[in-house]
Structure 1
């Protein structure tokens, strides 16, 4: 069983954010394989520990879970899917600094985040 890693992602260059943003992002706790992919088997065993914190200026932090449902992987902050933030092809991502992850916000906008640390 893999250990949990802390992955920090910051908003990359996006429309409205030509330089990205160091004050907008996510901090994840998730299991990774030796090559940096999501370890799905360990996630199944340790779901409750696979958490996300969304931080955004002028908004309270949102705390939730990494979930997998009929629409794939998402960040979920409350029961049900209404507040879920789907993740684009998460199972194919390598979690290492410099890589990018796309998150679809609850308002429907897709934003790109750059992984800045994995520890």
Structure 2
């Protein structure tokens, strides 16, 4: 198992035909040799699973990745969006449904769908993995 930093960039869409590197996430996750999320390590060291959301013309959002019954979510620090799918925990954190990674390996160039804090679903590509 190795902790990896995964960069997700907005993939091609109607609004962004070439995608957008200015709309991205950096996600730190424990991955097995096969590239699958190591759920045991994630459960034993949850504070290491960090996320930073970079969005053009918006302040960065920082948080931690947390497992949910539907997949994974980001628990944002401080004033996160209370309109997020996961709502607020009442302690200044908000939970936003982020993505669902199944048993498939996380691979460079693959695309995944993310649900943004406002509930809008966007497609992202795995731009780097190291």
TM-score norm. by structure 2 comes to 0.81
Look up the match of 2:50.
51
User: How far does the alpha carbon of each residue in 1:6-56 deviate from its partner, in whole angstroms, 9 at most, with x for none?
Assistant: 111100012311111011100011000111111111100110000000001
Find the counterpart in structure 2 of residue 75 from structure 1. Answer: 74
Return the offset for 1:66: 0.7
Per-residue Cα deviation, 1:49-105 (whole angstroms, up to 9, x for no partner): 000000011111100111112433112204883243324431334222101121101
What residue in structure 2 maps to residue 116 of structure 1? 127
Matched residue SS, 2:102: helix
Q: Corresponding residue for 1:7? A: 6
Moved more, 17-26 or 66-75: 66-75
The ranges of structure 1 where at least 4 consecutive aligned residues each deviate by more than 6 angstroms after the TM superposition are none
Structure with more contact order per residue of length (Cα contacts < 8 Å, sep ≥ 6):
1
1: distance between equivalents of 2:77 and 2:14? Answer: 28
Change (3 A) 1:17 1:93: farther
Mapped contact 1:51–1:63 kept (Cα < 8 A): yes
Unaligned runs of 5+ in 2: 88-93
CA–CA distance in 2 between the matches of 1:99 and 1:93? 11
Measured on the aligned residues, the alpha-carbon RMSD in Å equals 1.9
Ranges in structure 1 where 5+ consecutive residues have no aligned partner: none
**Quick one: distance in 1 between partners of 2:9 and 2:127?**
7
Equivalent residue, structure 2, for 1:102: 113
TM-score (normalised: structure 1)? 0.88
